[in-house]
A and B are shown apart, each in its own frame.
Chain A
Amino acid sequence: MAKITMREAISQALMEEMDRDPNVFIMGEEVGVWGGSYAVTKGFYDKYGPKRVKDTPIAENAIVGGAIGAAMAGLRPVAELMTINFAFSAMDYIVNQAAKLHYMFGGQFTVPLVIRTVGGGGRQLGATHSQTPDAIFAHFPGLKVVSPGTPEDAKGLLKSAIRSNDPVFFIEHATMYQVRGEVPDGEYLIPIGKSKVQRAGKDLTIVTYCKGLELSMKAAEELSKEGIEAEIVDLRTLRPLDMEPVLESFKKTNRAIVVEEGWKSYGVGAEVVSGITEEAFDYMDAPVLRVAQKEVPLPYNRALEQAALPQVPDIVATAKEVLR
């Protein structure tokens, strides 16, 4: 087991898949000569050349639309959207084309496409560059939406995404590229659509993913000092959502909170809470509460921004509330 950063994990996944399959290629803004705006594809252009590492114009419709066409015709593009905030410009291609072409043409077309993108706040980039709108993308049948919280999962899930014959929207977090974690030696895959217990516990269940995992792990350590053992279920994939480990954990702890970085309204937490209510109502000892972003566009000022984002103390306090 080697300890590597999230950035290295994603980079390794891309490189391994490009080495394995000559039909895998990357296209996006500044992925080539620049080396990727988050340095994930540093060195790729020199290794693979301009045919397989394509610098595109700043034109999100051309990036995702072009990648869809190439995928329909038999290639395996990994299209990079510099940030998830720019995905709105390409919304038609993500939700109206990629998610529907296989179904709408009765299975004639397949779109083996990965869209890699970067979301999340906390870098003082202002309201248009700091969003965590993951739930929007998870709304559409036909699309798979993945958002890992550890280097191990990022690597294994990205490799699965590239091999998937369905379009996968792969969300990374802007503040997590330096997060370190152990990854297995040698090649491994992690299946899309499987939630995972990342920390065992008996007193309550914390359901989360991506940045929320990092925060929830810290919160669990705090709680542990007070004798409260939280079990953490990491969704990893938002669609198709695997509720089984969530329900299994909840049936044991009877209490849960959901932690997400996006806004609370119509969010991932709302979906998880509904699922628990529908499937495990009889096991419920307290209302399931949500920790999420305040309902404001994220401000630039550091203190204001941090106040709007979910923090470790919020998780600790909410956990205690459901344990009262």
Chain B
Amino acid sequence: MKKEQLLDMYHQMVLVRRVEERGMELYQAGKIGGFMHLYIGQEAVGTGLIAAREDRDRVITAYRDHGVAINCGISADEVMAELLGKVTGMSRGKGGSMHMASVEKNMWGGHAIVGGHLPIAAGLAIRDQYEGNDNVTICMFGDGATNIGYFHEALNLSKAWGLRVLWVCENNQYGMGTAVERASAVTEIYQKADGYAMKSSQVDGMDVMKVYEAAKEAIDYVRKEGQPYFLEIDTYRYQGHSMGDPERYRSRDEVKKWHEKDPIGVFNKYLIENKIASAKKLSEIEASVEEEVEKSIEFAETSPEPGMDELFKHVYVEETSA
């Protein structure tokens, strides 16, 4: 990989984290409503994975989507504006935290029903198969989604029909507050792919370079073979499931242990040790992120609220009298 791309990945990871840390403050200040699920701790997953895609490859994910939106090239401004419910957000303030998307950036949402977007991902891939191209649809979901029926129907269809989907399970160890081993009959989640005769592998999701390499290989396989692939990426969320999680299901020691493998720290060290960037250069990136996030908050706060005419807009594409 080129130095510029590596530094861009570092920039993305720091940006995702800072957008969310500031988002937390705004949430606590009452400026962001609803549910907000933070990606902090999981930044290497989205960053490494999406760095490995070509622009023509589609991405679709669940509701923990701010990071993935930024990884796909959506600006911090738009993410912040959507969080604040402003009309300048990518979903015009009508989607919120869980519904970030951009057709232009080939980012197909932001879906809030656990596992619900998996059959939709298969459908996106149906289009590409119909067109006869070899675009890949990258579908991300949590470990919790692998226990719901949608998962089975989607994986089965993708293999039966030879759809180009890269199924990516972000295993952050808990479905809400229920640990994997308390909810799933199979605790090595990648093994679930065996039930569909689908190739699979598992990778450390705290190391962005490992994620990138594994994703590159998996995407190449899907593209060349015209078959789906299942990639489990093991990671950890530092914050609660969503804002206001009492976190009775895990210990402080456990959280601390994962902090020691912090993906930004790991990548920072990698870049310095391999002489890709100096500590000073990385500090400069961090400083530029501060500025970018500050500006995004200003953009969001000064953006207009959606007008009341937005209430009835987009119920249907075609105007109806009802």
List residues of A whose CB falls within 8 A of some B CB.
Answer: 25, 51, 54, 56-57, 59, 61-62, 64-75, 92-93, 96-97, 101-110, 112, 141-142, 144, 164-166, 193, 239-242
Contact = CB atoms under 8 A, between A and B. Distances in A.
A81 B122 CA distance: 18
Given A66-B119, A106-B92, A108-B91, A193 B320 contact: yes
Contacts of B316: 102, 142, 144, 166
B238 to A, nearest CB: 28
Contacts of B318: 164-166
Interface of B: 58, 89-95, 99, 101-103, 108-110, 113, 116, 118-128, 130, 149-150, 153-154, 156-157, 160-161, 313-318, 320-322
Contacts of A144: 316, 320
Given A69-B125, A104-B95, A142 B315 contact: yes
B322 A239 contact: yes
B160 A108 contact: no
Nearest to A52: B130
Contacts, number: 145
Given A69-B127, A73-B123, A166-B316, A106 B157 contact: no
A57 B91 CA distance: 34
A61 B317 contact: no
A56 B116 contact: no
B127 A75 contact: yes
A224 to B, nearest CB: 33
A25 B58 CA distance: 22
A104 B153 contact: no
Contact of A61 (B93, B124, B153): B153
Contact of B109 (A59, A93, A105): A105
12 contacts: A51-B130, A59-B156, A65-B120, A65-B123, A69-B120, A70-B127, A73-B124, A105-B91, A105-B110, A106-B90, A107-B314, A108-B102
Given A104-B94, A193-B320, A66 B122 contact: yes
Nearest to A165: B317
Contacts of A101: 109
B269 to A, nearest CB: 39
Contact of A69 (B92, B121, B156): B121
B317 A106 contact: no
A25 B318 CA distance: 22
A162 to B, nearest CB: 13
B115 to A, nearest CB: 9
B149 A61 contact: yes
A65 B118 contact: yes
B157 A62 contact: yes
A105 B119 contact: no
Contacts of A61: 119, 149-150, 153-154
Contacts of A97: 113, 116, 120
Nearest to B124: A69
B236 to A, nearest CB: 29
A103 B315 CA distance: 5
Contacts of A142: 315-316
B58 to A, nearest CB: 8
Contact of B119 (A65, A71, A96): A65
A62 B120 contact: no
A62 B321 CA distance: 32
Contacts of A66: 119-120, 122-123, 126, 154, 157
Contact of A59 (B101, B127, B157, B320): B157
Contacts of B101: 105, 108-109
Given A57-B157, A104-B99, A93 B119 contact: yes
A107 B94 CA distance: 10
Contacts of A110: 317
B33 to A, nearest CB: 15
Contacts of A102: 314-317
A87 B161 CA distance: 22
Nearest to A50: B161
Given A92-B150, A104-B91, 18 more contacts: A56-B157, A61-B119, A62-B153, A65-B116, A67-B123, A69-B121, A72-B120, A75-B127, A93-B116, A96-B113, A96-B116, A97-B120, A101-B109, A105-B110, A106-B92, A109-B101, A164-B318, A166-B318
A36 to B, nearest CB: 20
Contacts of B92: 106-107
Given A61-B153, A65-B123, A106 B116 contact: no
Nearest to B157: A62
Contacts of B116: 65, 92-93, 96-97
B113 A68 contact: no
B108 to A, nearest CB: 7
B117 to A, nearest CB: 8
Contacts of A25: 130
B121, B123, B149: residue with the most chain A Cβ atoms closer than 10 Å? B123
